[in-house]
A and B are shown apart, each in its own frame.
Chain A
């Protein structure tokens, strides 16, 4: 028997494979200047779907700027940024951002639940579905029973949880976190790190996490990208090969962890100033 096979089929299959394997985040020779000051110089890197990438670097290396370009809040002067193969033209609900300054990113006149609702309202989720989803989201971030409180009635860590819940309500494919735990105390920070890892594991989101804390970057990431300053560019991409789930004690005591720490520390020292 002769099986009819149209000649274009292999091409199509290849095209499909290409789109499904196109990286979640792709920076293609990105440059950005404010006036005469060059902020970022010909930066290229890509992040695979589902990968957890941490960005470390001295201040002035363009960590936050990089996130803002990726969201589409700033447009680079040269190069192209692609999300899942599509060039970024502006913000999209597909990409959520957790800002460091939760106090400013939350609507102070709305309760925690209503803050989460904003993302659902934006996505035109019917009113009668919202309550269940809000309850579920608040429970996910450990805020069960706090939905009726205003942000000012919540601690810093809890406010940041509200912001994370709002971002999850967007059901994003990419989650960007800009030093999200920088303003929190060490204990809150550790529990939030583990909760974020758990959530990311459950949802399969692609995460880009900016931090100035090397330990945090290694602890969370599949990859750590180290940026150099003046102008910002990728100095090094370090794959982190530590077993998951990670553990605040055993992971941090792992000789491999310490090795990564050593490598990154040397690099930051060398390039930092």
Chain B
């Protein structure tokens, strides 16, 4: 069955993006940790996501899991680095306030770091989803016989351009829908003030 890349993107983003945000918060708050991990990060990050396809294929075979794994790998790096940058630039005065009030690490993250960084983490998410979308369709075109990208290629080979254009339009609509949805969430959650907070 053909499927929208929605599910694979959602799954990959939840896993890869989630881990990236968690790791980014840790690295952003601890200069020592970010120094220790920086070499490893610079080693693994430049691997093109498409180059992970063979590995994912070996582990998961054809199907949505394989695609989601590749998307997770894709999303992890930008979310990790962007979150780290955002968190390490949280107003130092607020970090001092959290130390003076002796906030627990959890309370510090929930009450100071995340609210201060949230608006920009959502922006990072928007950028990352764009990349995830590209990688999802590429993976489907290249290897995943169950994807929309694959169906699109088949239509082209079967000389049915009307279907091909329909698929392309649908993909474009999906991309637009995701971005608009996120923008709406961002505005709703942070409003005019949220954008100020991120300055």
Contact = CB atoms under 8 A, between A and B. Distances in A.
A148 to B, nearest CB: 14
B93 A99 contact: yes
A152 B100 contact: no
Contacts, number: 51
Interface string B25-44: 00000000000000000000
A91 B94 contact: no
Interface in B29-83: none
Chief secondary structure at chain B's binding surface: helix
A179 to B, nearest CB: 14
A152 B196 contact: yes
A107 interface: yes
Interface stretch (B101-109, B130-138, B161-169): B101-109
B100 A97 contact: yes
A119 B101 CA distance: 6
A109 B191 CA distance: 11
A96 B111 contact: no
Interface string B171-199: 00000000000000000000001101100
A107 B115 contact: yes
Contact of B102 (A107, A108, A122): A122
Interface residues of A, number: 23
B107 A121 contact: yes
B97 interface: yes
Given A109-B115, A109-B193, A152-B193, A122 B103 contact: yes
A112 interface: no
B99 interface: yes
B112 interface: yes
A118 B93 contact: no
B96 interface: yes
Nearest to B119: A109
